[in-house]
Amino acid sequence: MADSLIRGIISRGVGGLYAVRPVFDDRYDGETELLARARGSFRIQNISPLVGDVVTLSPAGEMNEALEVPEDTGAPDSTGRKRRGKKGDIRVDWVISEISGRKNSMIRPPLANLDYLFAVIPTASPEPDLLTVDKLTVIAEDCGIETVIVVNKADLDMDGARKIADVYSLAGYRVFLVSAGSGYGMDELAGFLREITEKQQEKGYVSGAFVGASGAGKSTLMTYLFPELELATGSVSRKTERGRHTTRHVELYRTETGNGSFWLADTPGFSLLDFTRFNFIPTDELPGSFREFADLIGQCRYRKCTHTKEEGCAILEKLSQGGIAGSRHASYVKILEEQRSVPEWKRKQM
C-alpha cells in the first residue's frame, strides 16, 4: 500500500488543482508532473496547500469524480502534457492526502518552504533603495529564509557597488557583486547556486527567489543563470504576464545547477513590495531580526532600550565603532517608526 503513495512538492496551482513534482521518488524522472486535488477535509480544516509544500499523494481511485475546472487553464494531465481542458472533464489521478510541516510560509506571494531570497540591488539606474532591502532582510530573518545580497550593475559604478556590498558583508550576509549585463562576477554566483544545491541533496530540494525593485535586473540575472528556463517560459511572455496576473500566482521552476536541481520560485509580480507590505514583524522582534544586532540584545544598560538614542546602548556603541553600517541602523529606526504608527488592531490583519 505504501508503494502507491508518492511524496513530492507542489510546483504550481492550476485552477483549484495542484501540479506536484515527485522529487523524492526514484520511480519518476525530474520532468514528471502529477496533477492532484486537495483532500476534502483540508477545506473543512481551513488548510490550503501552497506552492512549495512537501506533500504526500494518494491515488484518487474510485473516489475520483469529474472536477469543475475553468476552461483553458492549460493544466497538465498526469503525463505532464498540457491539455486544454473542457469544462468538467479533467480526470485527476491523485489526491493530496498530507502536507508536511512547513519551514515557513508567506501570504503574498503565497509560498511555502522557501530557502533563499536573492535580494537584487541595482548599483544605479534605478537608485538603490536600501530601506526596502533592509525590510526584506528582516522579514526573511523572521521566516528563517536565508538572504543573499546580489549587487547588480556593478559596471555602472564599481565604487558605489562596493560600498553597498560592504554594508551587507558587515551585517553578516553573503554578498555577490555582479553585472548580469556583462557577466562580471556571475561565475561566483552560479558557483554558489551549485554549492547550496549540492549541500541540500538530502532534504530533496532547495528553492530560492530573486526579488528586487523593478529594473534592478532580476530577469537579466535569471536568464543568465538559468538559460534553459528562459527557453521554456520566454522572456516576452514573462514580461507581458507581469501585467496580467497578480502576485497570487507563483510557480516553482526546476533548474539544473550541476549536481542537482535548484527550484526557482517566480511570479509575475515578485517585487520587494509584496514581501514588505504583507509580512508584518512584531516590534519586539525587530532588533533581533537585524542580524548584526542580534548578539548584543540584552546587553544595553536599560532593559527596555529601543536602540535609538539611549545612553549605554550596546547597539549604538557598535554603530559608533563602525561595526554596524549607518544605513542599516537608519533603516532600523525608520521601520520602528513605521511600525509604531500602525494601530494595534490593524497589525493583526497584516
Q: According to the binding rule CB under 6 A, does residue 211 interact with ligand GDP?
A: no
Q: What is the dihedral of CA 219, 225, 227, 233, to 10 degrees?
A: -40
Position of minimal CB gap to ligand GDP: 181
| Residue 318, contacted partner among Zn ion, ligand GDP, none, CB below 5-8 A by kind | none
Site string for Zn ion, 246-285 (x = CB under 5 A): ----------------------------------------
Beta bridge partners of 212: 120
Please report how close the Cβ of residue 307 comes to Zn ion at its closest, in angstroms.
4
CB of residue 25 vs Zn ion: minimum separation in angstroms? 51
Rounded Cα distance between 197 and 192, Å, is 8
Cell numbers at 326, concatenated: 549607518
- Between 105 and 223, CB nearer to ligand GDP: 223
Candidate ranges 211-219, 274-282, 303-311, 342-350; the one touching ligand GDP (CB under 6 A): 211-219
Nine cell digits for residue 287: 532588533
How many residues form the binding site for Zn ion (CB under 5 A)? 5
Q: What is the nearest approach in angstroms of ligand GDP to the Cβ of residue 224?
A: 9
Residues 72-91 that bind ligand GDP (CB under 6 A): none
* Coil/strand/helix, residue 216: coil
CA distance 209 to 252: 9
Helices (H), 234-325: 235-244, 272-278, 314-320
Q: Supply 73's cell numbers.
A: 487553464
Q: How far is the CB of 249 from Zn ion (least distance, A)?
A: 42
Site string for ligand GDP, 150-179 (x = CB under 6 A): --xx-xx----------------------x
**Residue 212 within binding range of ligand GDP, rule CB under 6 A:** yes
Residue 216, interface with ligand GDP (CB under 6 A)?
yes
Q: Which does 217 bind (CB under 5 to 8 A by kind): ligand GDP, Zn ion, none?
A: ligand GDP
The answer to the question of residue 305 lying near Zn ion (CB under 5 A) is yes
Among 349, 195, 211, which residue's Cα sits nearest to residue 268? 211
8 Å CB contact between 265 and 111: yes
> What mask, x for binding ligand GDP by CB under 6 A, covers residues 85 to 124?
----------------------------------------
CB 124 within 8 A of CB 158: no
For residue 215, state whether it binds ligand GDP (rule: CB under 6 A): yes
Confirm or reject binding of residue 126 to ligand GDP (CB under 6 A): no
Q: Looking up cell 508503494, which residue turns up? A: 3
Q: Which secondary-structure segment (H or E) carries 19?
A: strand 17-21
CA distance 136 to 91: 41
Tell whether residue 330 is a contact of ligand GDP (CB under 6 A).
no
Distance between CA atoms of residues 276 and 247, nearest Å: 13
Pick one of 110, 128, 208, 217: the residue that binds ligand GDP (CB under 6 A).
217
The answer to whether 319 contacts Zn ion (rule: CB under 5 A) is no
Q: Please state the closest distance from residue 180 (CB atom) to ligand GDP, in A.
A: 4
Helix (H) or strand (E) holding 220: helix 218-225
Cell numbers for 250, please give them.
507563483
Task: From 20-28, 207-215, 225-233, 273-281, give the range in contact with ligand GDP by CB under 6 A.
Answer: 207-215
- Choosing among ligand GDP, Zn ion, none, which partner's interface includes residue 85 (Cβ < 5 to 8 Å by kind)? none
Q: Does 129 bind ligand GDP (CB under 6 A)?
A: no
The answer to whether 15 touches 69, Cβ cutoff 8 Å, is: yes
Of 70, 80, 106, 118, residue with least CA distance to 248 = 106
Short-list 210, 185, 214, CA closest to 126? 214
In the complex, the residues that contact ligand GDP under the rule CB under 6 A are: 152-153, 155-156, 179-181, 212, 214-220
Residues of the shown chain interacting with Zn ion in the complex, contacts defined by CB under 5 A: 300, 305, 307, 313, 315
